[in-house]
């Protein structure tokens, strides 16, 4: 895999994770505005919270890929200099 491709894929993954986290946060907010029973309201909040946590891990993984690609570019520049 080329470094440029790794960078692009990492950035795309980070953007998707951010979008998913925003969507889950909106679901949590909406669940607080709709009258419901206490147990139904709790269930409506749990799934988006789990999704936020999962997406945070995906985001962090993509950030590590981006960091590794950046380090490789730095090494290549140092080697060529």
pLDDT tens readout for residues 44-73 = 799 999 999 999 999 999 999 999 999 999
pTM of the model as a whole: 0.81
CB 21 within 8 A of CB 56: yes
pLDDT at 37: 65
pLDDT at 69: 92
pLDDT at 61: 98
First to last CA, the chain: 23
CB 73 within 8 A of CB 50: no
pLDDT tens readout for residues 2-42 = 878 999 999 999 999 999 999 999 999 988 776 666 656 67
Tokens of 75: 């090494």
pLDDT at 39: 59
CB 65 within 8 A of CB 10: yes
DSSP-derived letter for residue 1 is: -
């Amino acid at each position: 895999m080329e470094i440029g491709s790794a960078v692009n894929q990492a950035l795309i993954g980070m953007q998707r994770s951010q979008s998913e986290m925003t969507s889950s946060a909106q679901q949590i907010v909406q669940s607080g505005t709709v009258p419901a029973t206490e147990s139904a309201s709790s269930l409506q909040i749990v799934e988006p919270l789990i999704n936020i946590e999962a997406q945070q891990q995906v985001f962090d993984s993509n950030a590590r890929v981006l960091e590794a690609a950046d380090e490789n570019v730095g090494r290549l520049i140092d080697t060529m200099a």
